[in-house]
């Protein structure tokens, strides 16, 4: 498996894990209600 694909899979997994942790501390929709630049 190419390194780029494996790296993308790892980053996707980490991002999903971080989103899961944040969703436990932030009210539903609260994260998306933040004023993103």
pLDDT in tens, 8-18: 888 888 777 77
Asked if residue 32 has pLDDT above 70, the reply is: no
Mean pLDDT rounded to a whole number for the chain = 70
Q: What angle do CA 7, 12, 8 make, to 5 degrees?
A: 25
Q: How far is the C-alpha of 37 from the C-alpha of 35, rounded, in Å? A: 6
Overall pTM > 0.85: no
Asked if residue 37 has pLDDT above 70, the reply is: no
The CA–CA distances, whole Å, from 6 to 2, 12, 15, 18, 35 equal: 6, 10, 14, 18, 32
Higher pLDDT, 2 or 20: 2
């Amino acid at each position: 498996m190419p390194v780029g694909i494996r790296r993308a899979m790892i980053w996707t997994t980490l991002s999903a894990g971080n989103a899961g942790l944040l969703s436990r501390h932030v009210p539903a929709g609260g994260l998306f209600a933040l004023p993103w630049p």
